[in-house]
Amino acid sequence: MKKSTIVLLHVAYWLIYLFVVGFLNYITVDAPFSMDGDLFAIIAVAITTGSISFYVFYFQLVPRFLFKKKFLLFALLGIAVSVVVSILPALVLSIFFYYYFSFITEAKVIISVMVQYTLLALFNGVMAALIRIAITWYKDVRTKEILELALVKSRFDPHFLFNTLNNIDVLIERDAQRASAYLKKLSDLLRFMLHEEHILLEQEVDYIEKYLELQRIRTSNEQYIKWEVSGETGGLMIAPMLLIPFIENAFKHVTGKKINDAISIRLVVRGEEIDFTCSNVFDPARPAMKDKHGLGLSLMRQRLELLYKDQYTLTISAPDDIFSVNCIIRLKSNELHHH
């Protein structure tokens, strides 16, 4: 969401708030009061208490407590803030601008006014929380859409598709049965969809294995790729195509295809945690490898942050001539997942 849109949203909220406060006070106050004095003072206090409460919630309480699921602390601090920011301005205005409040003559009326402003401040705090949640949700949805669009585009890499089809075409003349098997693997890859938010880890592993098989036909070195899986993958759920971009990145930048284990991929499953490592041999002098935080890896980091937040770690290193990515993620089991 653009900053200008957010600003307009805030302006619209305060205009509506100003109108509602003025209108409600105009129709509900029984005692006669001056339109120029009393109503102005009421609105001034309402705006002061409301705006302070609103932006304390918006910028401090919501991101620091509500978003971090500290609900009890958020509620207690929210009530405390509403009381403090309402009582102090009301007292100041009552004492120093008493002539504006000509209808306030009894202590119980003053207390009643303070209670009303406390509730009004609390209302503004709740509205601030709702608006901040809505804006954050919209941003997350848009970010997810952008990342998934980038992922969809990467799935159908025309170079990979063209090279694979060309290799299969050449293979048909030498070994038709083997070429047919590779063609089936390619069709399985193209059928792999992103409609589900989460898939079984077994499906992700199966996708990786088919992808690696297709990459192997591009070199005569059978030891070019090292792929290891250990642990029990059954029952765990993962976001689709979460690991494959790291592997694609390795194939994109690897050098020395005649070297054994030029690309090494390891997936270790420990309970509900996976430890994924993908490394490849590379030439440090190549311009494309000078920045280990390229656009592709940056997108993957954003996607991990969006989907798993504090449930993952991503480490990227490039010692000597080995580029390595390590990603540890805590997943959910199929029984616990309700998406």
Cα–Cα distance measured from residue 252 to residue 116, given in angstroms and rounded to the nearest whole number: 64
Q: Which residue has the higher pLDDT, 118 or 264?
A: 264
Is the pLDDT reported for residue 160 higher than 80? Answer: no
Mean pLDDT of 261-268: 96
- Contact status, residue 286 vs residue 253, Cβ threshold 8 Å: yes
Cα–Cα distance measured from residue 267 to residue 231, given in angstroms and rounded to the nearest whole number: 8
Is the pLDDT reported for residue 55 higher than 70? Answer: yes
Is the pLDDT reported for residue 211 higher than 60? Answer: yes
Is the pLDDT reported for residue 119 higher than 70? Answer: yes
Could you state, in order of their start, the residue ranges of all structural domains in the chain? 3-152, 219-333
Cα–Cα distance measured from residue 67 to residue 72, given in angstroms and rounded to the nearest whole number: 12
**Maximum pairwise Cα distance, the chain:** 102
DSSP 179-207: HHHHHHHHHHHHH----SS-EEHHHHHHH
DSSP 65-131: IITTT-HHHHHHHHHHHHHHHHHHHHHHHHHHTGGG-TT--SHHHHHHHHHHHHHHHHHHHHHHHHH
Mean pLDDT of 152-173: 63
- pLDDT (0 to 100) of residue 35: 46
- pLDDT (0 to 100) of residue 267: 98
Q: Is 335 helix (H, G, I), strand (E, B) or coil?
A: coil
Q: Is 319 helix (H, G, I), strand (E, B) or coil?
A: coil
| CATH fold for the domain made of 219-333 | Heat Shock Protein 90 (3.30.565)
- Contact status, residue 185 vs residue 210, Cβ threshold 8 Å: yes
* Lowest mean pLDDT segment, chosen from 113-127, 144-158, 208-222: 144-158
Q: The tokens 């958020």 sit on which residue?
A: 74
